[in-house]
C-alpha cells in the first residue's frame, strides 16, 4: 500500500483571529500545528511523498518548520479545492490521502484503518457519527428531524485511488462544481461507492480561537 499525501496549509486561518496562518500556531513545546499534522505521515513507511500546499509568502518559513526528504511544497490556490487540485498534479503513488493541515490530532491507527479500507475500495473518508440530534431548518423554522444514526461528520483524511480523484477534480474544474470536501467530487462525478472509516472525535480541525486552546 504505497500512497502520497496532500497536506493542506495554504489557507489564512481567518476564523482563529490570529495575525498569521493558524498552521504555524505553536503549543507550549514549540511544535506547530503543521509539524504535528505532517508527523504521522512522515513516520509511515508506506507514505512515499507529502505535498504541502503553501503560498509564496510562507514557503520559506514552512520549509524551516517541516523539513524531511519526503516533504515537498506546492503553491495552493484561492480555495481549498484549488489547492487540492494543484497538489494532485504532483501525485505519483497509486493512492492519495488528502488531509487538512489544521487537523493535528490524527492518530496512526486511523491512517492504518484508511490503508486497510483502500485495499478493498477506491474511495473512503474518515467520519464520526453525529452526537446531537440534527434538524433541517428553513427561514428560522424546523422543517424536519433527520435520522441521527444515518448522519456523520466528514473529517480528513479522505483517501482515493489517485487516478479516480484526479479525474473527478479535473471534471469539477471543467464544470465549475464547488465542493467543500474531496469525496463530494467523487459523489458528483463517478459511480464509485465511498466507504466510511470510523475515526476519532478528537480529530478536530483547528478553526476557532477556542480550538487553539486545545492545541
Ligand atoms: N486551505 C488551503 N488552501 C486554501 C484554503 C484552505 O490549502 N485556499 C487549507 C487550510 O490551510 C486548512 C485546510 O485547507 O488546513 C482546511 O481549511 P480551513 O480550516 O477553512 O482553513 P483556512 O481556510 O485557513 O481557515 P479560514 O477558513 O478560517 O480562513
Ligand atoms: Mg477556509
Distance 10 CA to ligand 2 centre (A): 9
Task: Yes or no: say if 166 and 6 are a contact pair by the CB < 8 Å rule.
Answer: no
Distance 125 CA to ligand 2 centre (A): 19
Task: Yes or no: say if 143 and 74 are a contact pair by the CB < 8 Å rule.
Answer: no
Query: How much is the average pLDDT of 101-108?
Result: 98
State whether the beta carbon of 74 lies less than 6 angstroms from ligand 1: no
- Within 8 A by CB and 6+ apart from 215, the residues are 25, 27, 33, 104, 206
Res 162: pLDDT: 98
Mean pLDDT (the chain, rounded)? 97
Task: Yes or no: say if 47 and 70 are a contact pair by the CB < 8 Å rule.
Answer: yes
Model confidence at 112, pLDDT cuts 50, 70, 90, reads: very high
Whether residue 213 has pLDDT greater than 90: no
**pLDDT tens digits for 151-185?**
999 999 999 999 999 999 999 999 999 999 999 99
State whether the beta carbon of 44 lies less than 6 angstroms from ligand 1: no
From 8, 101, 154, mutation site for ligand 1 pocket: most ligand atoms within 8 A of C-beta: 8
Q: How many CB atoms lie within 10 A of CB 6?
A: 29
CA distance 94 to 96: 7
Amino acid at each position: 500500500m504505497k500512497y502520497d499525501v496532500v497536506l493542506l496549509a495554504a489557507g489564512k486561518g481567518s476564523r482563529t483571529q490570529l495575525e498569521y496562518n493558524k498552521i504555524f500556531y505553536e503549543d507550549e513545546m514549540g511544535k506547530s500545528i503543521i509539524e504535528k499534522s505532517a508527523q504521522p505521515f512522515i513516520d509511515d513507511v508506506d507514505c512515499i511523498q507529502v505535498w504541502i500546499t503553501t503560498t509564496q509568502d510562507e514557503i520559506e518559513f514552512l520549509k524551516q518548520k517541516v523539513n524531511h526528504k519526503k516533504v515537498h511544497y506546492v503553491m495552493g490556490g484561492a480555495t481549498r479545492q484549488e489547492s487540492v487540485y494543484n497538489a494532485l498534479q504532483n501525485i505519483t503513488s497509486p493512492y492519495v490521502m488528502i488531509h487538512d493541515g489544521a487537523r493535528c490530532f490524527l492518530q496512526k491507527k486511523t491512517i492504518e484503518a484508511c490503508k486497510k479500507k483502500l485495499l478493498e475500495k477506491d474511495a473512503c473518508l474518515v467520519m464520526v457519527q453525529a452526537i446531537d440530534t440534527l434538524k433541517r431548518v428553513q427561514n428560522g423554522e424546523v422543517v424536519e428531524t433527520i435520522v441521527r444514526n444515518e448522519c456523520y461528520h466528514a473529517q480528513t483524511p479522505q483517501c482515493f485511488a489517485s487516478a479516480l480523484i484526479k479525474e473527478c477534480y479535473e471534471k469539477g474544474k471543467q464544470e465549475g462544481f464547488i465542493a467543500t470536501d474531496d469525496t463530494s467530487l467523487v459523489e458528483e462525478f463517478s459511480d464509485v461507492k465511498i466507504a466510511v472509516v470510523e475515526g476519532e472525535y478528537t480529530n478536530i480541525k483547528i478553526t476557532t480561537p477556542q480550538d487553539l486552546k486545545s492545541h
